[in-house]
Every structure is written in C-alpha cells, then in structure tokens.
Amino acid sequence: MEQPKMTVSERRATYPLQQRLKIYNPDTMARRLSQEKQTKLVVNGVNLLNKSSLDKDIILDRMKQRRETHNRVERRRRDMLNGLISELAHAMPQDALDPEKSHRAQILRQAISYIQSIRRENQTMRAQLGQQDIHSSQAQQQH
C-alpha cells in the first residue's frame, strides 16, 4: 500500500531537534544560499540552463507560438463578447441608453433592468388575463 507523500516541512518535523536547529540556523541558511548557483530554469518541463542553445531556441520559439496563439484566442473571445454586448445595446429601447457611448457594464446593467421591467409587466398582464378568464367563464355560466 502506498503511503501518502509528506511535505518537506512534515518530513523535517520528524528530524531530531539538534538536526532541525542545524538546518534552520540562520548562518547555515545564509551560507547555503550564497553557495548555491541557479542550476535550474525550468520552462514547460525543460531546464533551460542545462540544455544546448539549439534546444533553448526551440523551447523559446514554442513559448512564443503558445503566447501568440493564446493572444489570438483571447482577442477572438473579447471581440465576440464586445459584438454581443453591442448587439444587446442596439436591441434595447432607444431612450434607455446611447449604444455607441455606453460602457459595457452600463449596457449590461440597463439590459438587466429592462428585462426585469418586462417580466413585471408580463406578470401583471398574465394576472389581468387570468381575472378576465375567470369573469368571462362566470358570465358564460350565468347565461
């Protein structure tokens, strides 16, 4: 059966006190940090400091392509959202807002308000129709 992995802190907590004091001694830590050179620069799973320049160029080109692809996808998404918000603004009553000058948040806020008012109006009309149906059925029963 596989034991759950322990974090470094959990593993170090099992060390004897003297060893923990030595590990966390400020002088020891400062000496280790000053002696350590950066030996890893891992990008997309590849250590750039441990590879030939050819591999670095390939990795950097791939990273550039991924960034450009991401930017293109993000721009397309943003354009689609802006188009839909513009369409929503033009679908609103003309007195509600100026679709060319309004901010997106303002357009969305006005659209929500407009939809809520239409819902209330719709409920009122349904209630009136329901009462009319009741009155007309009562009138038909009396005749």
Same domain, yes or no, for 18 and 46?
no
The parent domain of residue 13 ranges over 1-36
Same domain, yes or no, for 119 and 102?
yes
Of 41, 44, 79, the residue nearest 64 (C-alpha): 44
Angle (deg, nearest 10), helices 104-142 and 53-91: 40
Same domain, yes or no, for 109 and 75?
yes
How many other C-beta atoms lie within 10 A of the C-beta of residue 27? 7
Q: What is the pTM for the complete model shown?
A: 0.50
The reported pLDDT for the residue numbered 74 is: 97
pLDDT tens for the chain, 143 residues: list them: 567 777 877 777 787 777 766 666 777 767 766 666 656 666 666 666 665 655 667 777 888 888 899 999 999 999 999 999 999 998 988 776 666 677 899 999 999 999 999 999 999 999 998 887 777 777 677 76
The reported pLDDT for the residue numbered 53 is: 58
Q: Domain tally for the chain?
A: 2
Same domain, yes or no, for 32 and 47?
no
Pair 122, 114: CB distance under 8 Å: no
The reported pLDDT for the residue numbered 69 is: 93
